[in-house]
Amino acid sequence: MTPAALNLVVLRCSDMARAADFYSRLGLQFVQHRHGNGLEHFSADAGECVFELYPRTAGGPSTEGARIGFRVASLEAAAAAFHDFPDAILSPPADSPWGRRAVIADPDGHRVELIQQHLPPLSSADPISETRIH
């Protein structure tokens, strides 16, 4: 059986414009959407996944407690992009077994893991190392 692939993430936000501003710091480009009579929301392509921000309504569903993650090209650049969100950085950039990582919190408290994966070292046993070196 082929494993399932994630294609949609929806977060509920108290201030969608502020949340879109926050997540745009990761390079996401949002557009406003509305499906039929549904709620207006923001949507962005995040690789093979659609990332959507919906309004949090009284008595409606909540995504509080959800934790998501993004792979970034430069963890330091990503963390620096949140300089005007002073409470965003929960765990500053540090090395881990999965690569260099940090944990931030969006304006609604969703925890977001940012990871910069390390490239495997080149070795002479690597059949493509000559291609990489030259």
The answer as to whether 131 is a domain residue is no
Number of structural domains in the chain: 1
Query: Which pLDDT value is given to residue 124?
Result: 52
Tell me, what's the pLDDT at 133? 40
Q: Look at residue 38 and tell me if it is in a domain.
A: yes
What is the reported pLDDT for 128? 44
Of the pLDDT bands very low, low, confident and very high (cuts 50, 70, 90), residue 127 is: very low
Residue 85 lies in a domain: yes
Look up the CATH number of the domain holding residue 19. Answer: 3.10.180.10
Q: How confident is the model at residue 86 (pLDDT cuts 50, 70, 90)?
A: confident
Q: Is 64 exposed, middle or buried (0-12, 13-18, 19+ CB in 10 A)?
A: exposed
Quote the pLDDT of residue 117: 76
Q: Is residue 49 part of a domain?
A: yes
Beta strands in the chain (DSSP E): 8-13, 31-33, 41-46, 49-55, 67-71, 89-96, 99-105, 111-116
User: How does residue 125 score in pLDDT terms, banded at 50, 70 and 90?
Assistant: low
Q: Are 112 and 128 in contact (CB under 8 A)?
A: no
Positive or negative CA dihedral for 76, 82, 86, 89? negative
- Is 24 within the bounds of a domain? yes
The residue among 79 and 125 whose pLDDT is bigger is 79
* Residue 41 covered by a domain: yes
Compute the chain's Rg from CA coordinates: 18
Domain membership of residue 108 as a residue range:
8-121
Query: Which residues, in sequence order, are bridge partners of residue 18?
Result: none
45 - beta bridge partners?
50
User: Mind listing the pLDDT tens digit for each residue in 13-49?
Assistant: 999 999 999 999 999 999 999 989 989 999 999 999 9
pTM of the model: 0.83
Q: Is residue 57 part of a domain?
A: yes
Does residue 131 have a pLDDT over 50?
no
pLDDT of 93 above 70: yes
